[in-house]
Structure 1
Amino acid sequence: MARITVWGVHMGAHVGDRPIEGGYVGIGLPAIGDLTKIAPDREAFKAALIVAYPDKKAGAIPVDAGSMFKFLHEIQAGDIVVYPSKADRMVNIGRFTGEAVYVEGDPDEYPTWQKVEWLKHVPRDEFSQAALNEIGSFLTMFRVRRYANEFLAKINLVAPVGITTPPEALTDQQDEIADDDTATVSAAIQAEASTSDFIVKRLMTDLTGHQFEEFIAHLLECMGYTARVTPKSGDGGVDVIAHMDPLGFQPPIVKVQCKRTTGQTPRPDVDQLLGTLGDGEYGLFVNLGSFARGAVELERNRAKLRLINGEQFVELVFEHYAKLSPRYRALIPLKQIFVPDLQQD
């Protein structure tokens, strides 16, 4: 059986669903220009990187150059790609077509693309934490080795057993040794991602749909609202009602729909919530996954609508964790650690 090579690729959250819609993954470093024009040699990539980014730390040069080289010259048609999307907490799995292109002026600043045939999009909570940790690499481009079969199983493939690390991957491993600063940043990112995964998995596995609504109501109370869960039937799509007035007579009144799912919520579900709003009422839709593009566009055009996806929801839990009741702190036990503030670097 032929060896199946599985690659991992990272892109920023700002790209949204464009790589999925466009059938590609991209690599950045736009100041270099067209990477496809660089000689297929690692030293040539290092030299181009030093010229384009003279202030880049010395320890990052071989790492970034190695990523560029692998992206252009080691990926083969038929190789599998795992792309964890930061925007919607999905793990996207596809097959490289073998077509590399340069897109001048790419708005996301990922101008060099490898075209991909996407095969499946899987919520993060369907993978083990160990597998998620492996694809949480700080590298833009890396090989998925230890838990490759966990990702391949989602597309009905299995890698051969007993395959040793191929010779060409030895240089790949050398490139993945980062300087201390890069490794520290990687640890901080991994810690935050692992904690987010832990929170979402606990809420998915330990709460029923109605209990999730109760948790949302409690979180809103921690934020200063008075909130109550509506009856289980006949709620018209409204699960929680919140307001600043303790008696609930004065606007604004917030009608909340809660969806305990790590998948993508379509626009019609959001439309249903909007249909319940009257004068002085606002709509809040909360899920643990993401929202379809149509729903996001609807939010941009409706001042009375707010969508909270899984990443945003976890941030709210972090922010108000100290105010949660002992019951919910026991459900998602966390302790404070100090990590580098990436926004200040």
Structure 2
Amino acid sequence: MDTVTAPTPTVWGVFVGQNGDQLEIFNSKFGPFPPKKESEGYIAIGWPAIGYLPMFKDDYADYVQKFRTAYPHTNERVFKTQANMPWHFAFEMAKGDWVICPCSAHGLLLIGEVIGDYEQDYHDELGLHGKRRADFVHVRKVKWKETILRNDSRYSQLNRIGQLTIARPNITFTELQAVLGGVVTAA
């Protein structure tokens, strides 16, 4: 009998706000911050003027044209880097992928598994009632697996995601598991 192997999760680095300053707001509604292990929360990004991203799912060229209208930039390389971040968030990130989310204000990294599809929240349906920045409208649900404080030796191994809002850091899921001590597994 042939067995189907599940794809290996991708590891993403996601800054929720400037240096992660919105991470607490999206993850403290149901309890303290940092969230407890296995609790659910959200990651979110901006670029609200692009609208509801699924309408572009099968037409990257149309998406880029709309993004250029909403967020013009004279440097084409910078423009494409910016345009690709919401695209990756909506269409390449998937349930089962893992995220590393830095929060400089609290000196920590939250490590979690993406458990939700892309959603948009223009009307504060998450119930954060004005606490969040209004431009953070593109969201995904996450189950938090680990909190790593700045004084933890693992922090320097994982805090290398760069400065982009969304990036694929140079770490595989297997390497992430090893750094976390092999205590977490993909769903």
Question: Do both proteins adopt the same fold according to a TM-score greater than 0.5, normalized to the shorter chain?
Answer: yes
Number of residue pairs matched by the alignment: 157
Shift of 1:49: 1.2
Distance 1:102 1:120 in 2: 26
Shift of 1:158: 7.1
Partner of 1:91: 109
Superposed, 1:217-256 pairs within 5 Å as none
Partner of 2:13: 8
Shift of 1:25: 0.7
Q: SS of 1:36's equivalent?
A: helix
Partner of 1:54: 72
Q: Which amino acid aligns with 1:156?
A: V
Q: Could you tell me the TM-score, scaled by structure 2's length?
A: 0.71
Match of 1:104 among 104, 122, 125: 122
Structure showing greater radius of gyration is 1
Superposed, 1:300-339 pairs within 5 Å as none
Superposed, 1:1-345 pairs within 5 Å as 2-11=7-16, 12=18, 13-21=20-28, 23-55=41-73, 57-104=75-122, 107-108=132-133, 109-126=135-152, 127=154, 129-132=156-159, 134-135=160-161, 137-146=162-171, 148-149=173-174, 151-152=176-177, 153-154=179-180, 156-157=183-184
Q: SS of 1:31's equivalent?
A: helix
Superposed CA deviations along residues 88-122 of structure 1, whole A, max 9, x for unmatched, are: 11110111113211111564121100111112211
2:10/2:172 contact within 8 Å kept = no
Q: Could you tell me the TM-score, scaled by structure 1's length?
A: 0.41
- The alignment-based identity, stated in percent, is 25
**Structure with the larger RCO, 1 or 2 (CA within 8 Å, 6+ apart):** 2
The structure where helix makes up a greater share of residues is: 1
1:131/1:147 contact within 8 Å kept = no
1:10/1:139 contact within 8 Å kept = yes
Gaps of 5+ in 2: 30-40, 125-131
2:13/2:101 contact within 8 Å kept = yes
Q: Which amino acid aligns with 2:26?
A: P
Q: SS of 1:99's equivalent?
A: coil
Superposed CA deviations along residues 252-290 of structure 1, whole A, max 9, x for unmatched, are: xxxxxxxxxxxxxxxxxxxxxxxxxxxxxxxxxxxxxxx
